[in-house]
Amino acid sequence: DAKTTQPPSMDCAEGRAANLPCNHSTISGNEYVYWYRQIHSQGPQYIIHGLKNNETNEMASLIITEDRKSSTLILPHATLRDTAVYYCIVSDLYPEYGNKLVFGAGTILRVKS
Amino acid sequence: NAGVTQTPKFQVLKTGQSMTLQCAQDMNHNSMYWYRQDPGMGLRLIYYSASEGTTDKGEVPNGYNVSRLNKREFSLRLESAAPSQTSVYFCASSPIDRGGKAFFGQGTRLTVV
C-alpha cells in the first residue's frame, strides 16, 4: 500500500476553512485517496474519497493535484465539532481481497473559538 | 439502522484469560475488519474477511483468532490475554463495490491486568 504523510497537528479558527494537506507521492494509478476522521476515540468516520478529480459532498471537498502526489481536504466552515484526528489513506479497490485501509498517525485538527 | 455493533463496550481481563469480541453489521456488507488502536496511535489492522468464508491476517495478527460466522458477524478471540493487548478494538465493514468506504463500530475498550 502507498504511504501518506500528514502534518501532526493544525489549528483553525471557528467559521474559517480548514485545509488539511496530505502527501502521497508513491500513489499508483488504481489507488484512491480516502479521508476519515476520528472524534474523541469514537470509531472513524468516512468523509470523502477521490481518484483524480476534485470531489465535494455535504461534509467536505477534496482537491487532488494533477500529478496525484498530494491532496487537500477542505472543511469550508469549521466548527468546534470538527475537532478530530483526520486520516488520509490511499487504497485500491480490489474487493475480492478485502479493501484494507492502512491508517497512519493522522492530523489532529483543533478548531478554536 | 444500527450499522456496526460491537459487544461488549468495556472489558477487563486478567492475564491468561480468554474472551471473544463480537461484531455484527446489518448493511449486507461483504468485507469486515478488526483493528486495534493503542493510546495516541493510529489504527492497526489485525484480521480481515473479504467475504463470508474467508479470513486473512492483517498487520498485527499474533495473539488473535477470528471467525466469520456468517455474512453479518465477525468475531475476534483472544485465547490467552496479555497486558500488551490492552487497547481499543474497532470492527468495521465495507460493501464490495466501495471497499474503501468502511463503516466502523464504536469500539471495545479492553484492559488486561
Chain A contact for B74 (CB, 8 A cutoff): no
Q: Categorize the per-residue pLDDT at A63 as very low, low, confident or very high, splitting at 50, 70 and 90.
A: very high
Indicate yes or no: CB of B102 within 8 angstroms of CB of A98: no
What is the pLDDT at residue B98? Answer: 58
Between CA B102 and CA B83 the distance in angstroms is 29
Which cell goes with B10? 468495556
What is the least distance, in Å, from the CA of A85 to any CA of chain B? 9
Q: Categorize the per-residue pLDDT at A95 as very low, low, confident or very high, splitting at 50, 70 and 90.
A: very low
| pLDDT exceeds 70 at position A25 | yes
Q: Categorize the per-residue pLDDT at A99 as very low, low, confident or very high, splitting at 50, 70 and 90.
A: low
Number of H helices, E strands in chain B: 0, 11
What is the pLDDT at residue A38? Answer: 96
Q: Which of A101, A102, A108 to mutate to test the interface with B (most CBs of B within 10 A)?
A: A101
What is the pLDDT at residue B41? Answer: 82
Mean pLDDT by 10 residues, chain B (113 residues): 91 97 94 91 89 89 95 96 97 76 94 97
What is the pLDDT at residue A41? Answer: 79
Q: Which of B43, B48, B49 sits opposite A103 (nearest CB)?
A: B43
What is the least distance, in Å, from the CA of A16 to any CA of chain B? 27
What is the pLDDT at residue B95? Answer: 82
- Which one has a higher pLDDT value, B97 or A6? A6
Listed residue (A97, A52, A48, A53) closest to A76, CA to CA: A48
Chain A contact for B39 (CB, 8 A cutoff): no
Indicate yes or no: CB of A43 within 8 angstroms of CB of B104: yes
- Which one has a higher pLDDT value, B99 or A40? A40
What is the pLDDT at residue A28? Answer: 85
